[in-house]
Amino acid sequence: MSKLITLNINEMFETIQGEGAHTGIPSIFVRLQGCPVGCPWCDTKHTWTLDNALVTTAQQVIDKTNESEHFFEIDENKLLSLFSEQGYVAKHVVITGGEPCMYDLRPLTTLLHNNGFSTQIETSGTYEVLCDDRTYVTVSPKINMKGGMPVLLSALERANEIKHPIAMQKHIDELDALLADVSSLAGKQVCLQPISQQPRATELAVQTCIARNWRLSLQTHKYIGIE
């Protein structure tokens, strides 16, 4: 029997995926605690700190109505049972963070796929991606962030989707430099996502996507006011 992995979960909820190639898909979001990357525009900074003093119960995390640094600990088998207890009906599970690839996600993703779920990981690409071969991996490469962590070529190679937040041409140039080392983009979606829905960033993203036949990713959940 494989060793169970302890997962630290800051948020868990059922919603609609609002970004990237899976936009519009009913999803269970599992937001893991812990991230050293240090993105200045991060909208989940409450997930950065891993501290045992912040551990609480699963129900308190599920029921919370405000962002909080508190999280609960659980293994993959109990998490699957918790989905049923909560009455979730979505069959797509988005594992995000924080930085989810701080964890070995092979036991969780394999368990979920073997029980009729599809899985997706949203990662910064700064850790090796350890997951089931069937998992859809979205790498949102975080370049030259405060944490000083490089984007790994192995993460970009594993990616099914490379979704890059942009505000200016410099960000596209940085992405081009990363993509130059990837063996092939065949079968990969490349998406540009305007940071904070800024009009100038949106215009640049639209123009670039048209010119390169890439995909525009909008944070539609923010436009329609859902989590």
Helix (H) or strand (E) holding 156: helix 153-158
Q: Where are the domains of the chain?
A: 7-164
3 state SS of 116 = coil
| 140 annotated as a binding-site residue | yes
pLDDT in tens, 36-58: 999 887 889 999 999 999 999 99
pLDDT in tens, 77-117: 999 999 999 999 999 999 999 999 999 999 999 999 999 99
pLDDT in tens, 68-88: 999 999 999 999 999 999 999
| 96 annotated as a binding-site residue | yes
| 116 annotated as a binding-site residue | no
Residues 143 and 164: their CA atoms lie apart, in Å, by 10
* Plot region of 106 (φ>0 → left; ψ -120 to 50 → alpha; else → beta): alpha
Answer CATH for 7-164 from 1.10.8.60, 3.40.50.720, 3.20.20.70, 2.60.40.2130: 3.20.20.70
| 33 annotated as a binding-site residue | no
| 131 annotated as a binding-site residue | no
* Plot region of 38 (φ>0 → left; ψ -120 to 50 → alpha; else → beta): left
| 169 annotated as a binding-site residue | no
Max distance between CA atoms of the chain, in angstroms, equals: 53
| 39 annotated as a binding-site residue | yes
| 141 annotated as a binding-site residue | yes
Prediction pTM value: 0.93
Q: What local confidence, expressed as pLDDT, does residue 42 receive?
A: 87
pLDDT in tens, 135-176: 999 999 999 889 999 999 999 999 999 999 999 999 999 999
| 31 annotated as a binding-site residue | yes
| 43 annotated as a binding-site residue | yes
Nearest to 7 by CA among 32, 37, 29, 27: 32
Residues 71 and 55: their CA atoms lie apart, in Å, by 5
| 191 annotated as a binding-site residue | no
What is the number of helices (H) and of strands (E) in the chain?
7, 9
| 209 annotated as a binding-site residue | no
